[in-house]
Amino acid sequence: MGFQNDKAVVVFSGGQDSTTCLFWALEQFEEVIAVTFSYGQRHDEEIEVAKRIAEDINIEHHVLDMGLLSQLAPNALTRDDIEVEAGEDGELPSTFVEGRNLLFFSFATILASQKKAKHIVTGVCETDYSGYPDCRDVFVKSLNVSLNLAIGKEFVLHTPLMWLDKKETWELADRLGRLEYVKDETLTCYHGIPGDGCGECPACKLRRAGYEQYMEQKERKEL
């Protein structure tokens, strides 16, 4: 039951970050499998976007049902009656789902084990992490150790965006030759609008500010 050293499972939501990670993984590894978790997101569109991109770039894609998350942790991403709000005074934003990454990364690793893949790639990022404790580097490293002990293999969890801000994530997409693709095809907006989104929600604002900063930097370099 050996590993395939050049095989990776990417946790893939169809958003800017995980799509950039997918293209990063395609450069790093011989074979890439994407996994999307369905947990009663407000917008089924998210799942559809993920399916479309996976089909477009012709990779194996699994959609796993994680509906129990919305039973355990009702939040603004899964429930229409909870507004999307930024956290105030050190409180977490209403989009926070407790333990989400713990569960997603664990299930992705179980899938990786079944597929004999050594690598698991996720788009978590400590720079813009809005206070989500399970986006921190120390959490991912700790979970990596726990998963290796739990399953008895030497998996490697990769977090290529961990120390990048949104501007640098756009820069990475550009370096991978996928800037336009990521801009046009991915969905980050809390209101379920792909590409440039609604322009008003916190996710759209962060995404656009990063894009504008990157384009400014790029133009300066090209002058």
Residues making contact with Zn ion (CB under 5 A): 189, 191, 197-198, 201, 204
User: Is 125 marked within a binding site?
Assistant: no
User: Is 96 marked within a binding site?
Assistant: no
Nearer to Zn ion, 160 or 194 (CB): 194
Q: How far is the CB of 191 from Zn ion (least distance, A)?
A: 5
Sheet holding 31-38, edge to edge: 60-65, 31-38, 4-11, 117-121, 156-158
Q: How far is the CB of 43 from Zn ion (least distance, A)?
A: 11
Token reading at 75: 């939040």
Q: How far is the CB of 189 from Zn ion (least distance, A)?
A: 3
Q: How far is the CB of 76 from Zn ion (least distance, A)?
A: 13
Nearer to Zn ion, 74 or 192 (CB): 192
Q: How large is the angle between the packed helices 202-222 and 166-175, nearest 10 degrees? A: 60
User: Is 184 marked within a binding site?
Assistant: no
Name residues whose C-beta falls within 8 Å of residue 45's C-beta, 6 or more positions apart in sequence. Answer: 187, 192, 194
d(CA 135, CA 101): 7
User: Is 122 marked within a binding site?
Assistant: no
Residues placed in the known binding site for Zn(2+):
189, 198, 201, 204
Residues placed in the known binding site:
12-22, 189, 198, 201, 204
